[in-house]
Amino acid sequence: MCRPDRLDILLEWKLYREGGAAGDTGGMKEATMITVTIPVREIHCGGCENTIRVALSRMEGVRGVEPDHRTNQVRVSYDEARVGEVGLREALAALGFEPTAA
Ligand SMILES: [Cu+2]
């Protein structure tokens, strides 16, 4: 029951988000890299991991993505000034990998 490639959904979602963003400061903020581990309901296999890795790494501000189907967790390193955990969770949900409580 693997998810098909849903990158198109993420890209549409991202366009929507960018279109609605009004307060872009132009990238002059200092980068603050942090890493979070987001548990998701289920990652089936390496193919699912790859979908997550490719999709999230395309998001602005994301530097590292490490999905693990054995633990059903996704470790993400990102620039806090450009994206937040809420946005990452929304992206995972849009891909079909529903995040669970932190
Ligand atoms: Cu899979």
Question: Nearest to residue 53, comparing CAs of 42, 44, 41, 63?
Answer: 63
pLDDT tens digits for 70-80? 999 999 999 99
Average pLDDT over every residue of 39-53: 94
For 13-17, which contacts have Cβ atoms below 8 Å and span 24 or more sequence positions? 13/90, 13/91, 13/94, 14/58, 14/59, 14/91, 17/87
Q: What pLDDT score was predicted for residue 30? A: 72
Assess whether pLDDT exceeds 50 at residue 21. no
Average pLDDT over every residue of 37-61: 94
Average pLDDT, whole number, for the chain? 84
Ion ligand 1: residue ranges with CB closer than 5 A: 2, 44-45, 47-48
- Which domains are delineated in the chain? 6-13+32-95 (3.30.70.100)
Q: What are phi and psi of 99, to 5 degrees?
A: -70, 150
Cα-to-centroid distance, 8 and ligand 1 (Å):
17
Cα-to-centroid distance, 18 and ligand 1 (Å):
29
Average pLDDT over every residue of 54-69: 94
Cα-to-centroid distance, 2 and ligand 1 (Å):
4
